[in-house]
Amino acid sequence: MGTLNTKSRNSELYKTLGLLDKPQLLEDASEKAPEIVSLVASVLEKNIHKNDKLLKKSKTKDGVTIFHGSKAPTLNIRQYMERVFKYSKCSPSCFVVAYIYMDKFIQSTNCYLTSLNAHRLLIASVLVAAKFVEDVTYNNAHFAKVGGVSISEMNKLELKLLCSLDYKLHVTVETFDQYCLQLEKAAGSGSERRTCHNERAMQTCGLKGSWLKKDKSKCTPKFAGYSCGAI
């Protein structure tokens, strides 16, 4: 999926979202990330703000996962995503797939997307998406440095995400296109979207799938060729 089919019925949408742009290192500070990266950041920002406010107001205790930190990082999620895009050199489509993984993880766990867990979940999702859809990508050590975590933690975050998704990482073209349309609509709308699931979802109206399963204490890779550790 690193290279999208330009003959797709949604080729115009891909072009508008910058999904056909080739990945490049943003050396010049004036260069901007593709539109899709900005859209994903906008949607994540809205949900993080809403959930942080909801938890504080209701005094609800969020489910704690390996992705939670004791305090919110210095960089907000938009700045963090732009950093990840700049130094990971992943294709724009990789960030859509990463967003889908984030949505599936939130749906399958008893937690909210907040300022305490969004950054670690994002870097883990981009790492997994890059390994699955890109022809060539950096190893865990590089992603750990980009994400501001240790190699050991990066490996643990990756494995946790894979187990939560039951190692089912394939995203169909139909699902990919629908998420693109949802992102474009959500980021361009001033009103909040309706949820397809419940308050704990990322509110992306993500598609339900049989691959969504709860984490298991014993989880092993279900297909060969994927490395859960640093390369």
What architecture does CATH give domain 32-188? Answer: Orthogonal Bundle (1.10)
Label residue 23 by pLDDT band (50, 70, 90): low
Mean pLDDT of 174-181: 92
Name which of 7-16, 20-29, 111-120, 153-162 the model is least confident about.
Answer: 20-29
- What are the structure tokens assigned to 192, written together? 């909040």
Label residue 69 by pLDDT band (50, 70, 90): very high
Q: Of 159, 145, 158, 173, which Cα lies nearest the Cα of 220?
A: 159
**Domain coordinates in residue numbering, the chain:** 32-188
Q: How many CB atoms lie within 10 A of CB 42?
A: 16
166 contacts: CB under 8 Å, gap ≥ 6? 211, 212, 213, 222
Mean pLDDT, the chain, as a whole number?
A: 78
